[in-house]
Amino acid sequence: MDYQHKKNYARLIARMGLNVQKGQEIDITCDVEQVDFIRILAEELYLAGASKVNYNWTDASLTRLDIQYALEERISHLTSFEKAKQEYNIEKHPCRLFIESEDPDALKGVDQVRYGKIIASKNKEIRKYRDQYDDYCQWCIAGVPSKAWAKKVFPDLEEEEAVEALWVAILKVSRAYEGDPIENWRQHDENLNKHTAYLNSLNLRKLHYYSKNGTDLTVELLPDVLWLAGGENTKGTNVRYQPNIPTEECFTTPDRLKTNGIVYATKPLSYRGEIIEDFHIRFENGRAVEIHAKKGEELLKDMVQLDENACYLGECALVPFHSPINDTGILFFSTLYDENASCHLALGRGFNMLLKNPDLYKDNDEILAHGINQSIVHTDFMIGSEDLNIDGFDENGKLYPIFRNGNWA
């Protein structure tokens, strides 16, 4: 991919994704393979007004070694340095940027039970800090091709060709390949918000999903929870930013105890460096009570047991079947992209910021009691299909066609 396209993409991330404000610090989490792009990105972040850019380098091979050899009690808890960094985030509110590029099969074959325990323990500690700064700073996730990821997506191409093909695909679905990426995003954000304005005007209390693959699921909604799409605004400073590049979803948080029925996944799920395929989940009174998968069943079952609330829904997201991502015909093996190709649900944590009056609740326990799920995990899985229908019902039982044949009705 040529330098100018990469520079335009980096500028989109800096100016629209994070919307860096003058004097803000930036924390980038990225793979060591992406150093060339990170150099371009760092310059754009500084040009946007960043006062300091910090780098958290990762490598899947080193993660494998940690899982295999490190003492569990040492890597299951935050170090003094990591605690200090979390406290710094609470004080300074640096922007957080995550560059997605990991090989979908990077951790295939590791001891997932051990890895799950490590993640669960550490995430519980991190969550206590994140609850104090999450809504106060901008954050963004965007993708950059790695060689292994590109070969997974395009197995029939030579490595260099695969990387180029993935670059083109990422830039196109991110609206950064043609025209002015920032103006493209402004228009896209405006369009998404028209959908959420309509959904919020309906005051829906229930969604019924059904399709020929067997999905027959009813999800009840909370009366004081909003639909959201595209950009979000920080608490206090009211800075608008785009958390996901790309994004096509309109989403809300359901009542955690009022989901019933069965739902079938329509795309593979890349989770903890492995792939889960051909699965379905049955819910009773909000809880996932039955899980079956042709591939990765035990991994999926382990995920819903990471804490006591990982088995409840935290998100319902609407994405048309004919989205720009799905229309590419590419399976990205990355939740960032595949969730924006299809309607999806998420097991685990819900979104407190979708409450119309979040300040009425003193802590997460009160929000949980109100009906919004609280968990250390948030795992999206895709359920959209070309024949998926969704009916919405308001408090009086009036039916509104929301989706017909996979697209907005």
Q: Which of 90, 93, 89, 95 is nearest to 16 (CA)?
A: 95
What residues contact residue 110 under an 8 Å CB cut-off, 6+ apart? 64, 67, 68, 273
Q: Listing from the earlier edge strand, what are the strands of the sheet with 52-58? A: 52-58, 25-31, 95-100, 139-143, 244-245
Residue 163, token pair as written in the block? 């990387």
Position 94 scores a pLDDT of 95
Instruction: List Cβ neighbours of 271 (8 Å cut-off, separation of 6 or more).
Output: 296, 299, 300, 303, 379
What pLDDT does residue 270 have? 85
Per-residue pLDDT of the chain (409 residues; tens, 9 = 90+): 899 999 999 999 999 999 999 999 999 999 999 999 999 999 999 999 999 999 999 998 999 899 999 988 888 999 999 999 999 999 999 999 999 998 888 888 888 888 888 888 888 888 888 888 888 999 999 999 999 999 999 999 999 999 999 999 999 999 999 999 999 999 999 999 999 999 999 999 999 999 999 999 999 999 999 999 989 999 889 999 999 999 999 999 999 999 999 999 999 988 877 889 999 999 999 999 999 999 999 999 988 988 899 999 999 999 999 999 999 999 898 889 988 988 999 999 999 989 998 878 888 889 999 999 999 889 999 999 999 999 999 999 999 999 999 999 9
Nearest by Cα to 312 from 289, 287, 292, 290: 287
Bin 296: left if φ > 0, else alpha if -120 < ψ < 50, else beta. Answer: left
Tokens of 136: 């106060």
For position 272, what pLDDT does the model report?
78
Q: Which CATH number is associated with domain 3-173?
A: 3.40.1830.10
Task: Give the DSSP H or E segment for 115.
Answer: helix 112-130
pLDDT for the residue 58: 93
Contact 224, 357 (CB under 8 A): yes
Cα dihedral 280, 285, 289, 295, rounded to 10, equals 20
Pairing outcome for strands 389-394 and 399-404 = antiparallel
pLDDT for the residue numbered 74: 87
Angle between helices 3-12 and 181-202 (to 10 degrees): 40
User: For residue 273, what are the β-bridge partners?
Assistant: none
Q: Are 364 and 131 in contact (CB under 8 A)?
A: yes
Where do the domains of the chain lie?
3-173, 195-226+247-408
Note the pLDDT of residue 266.
Answer: 94
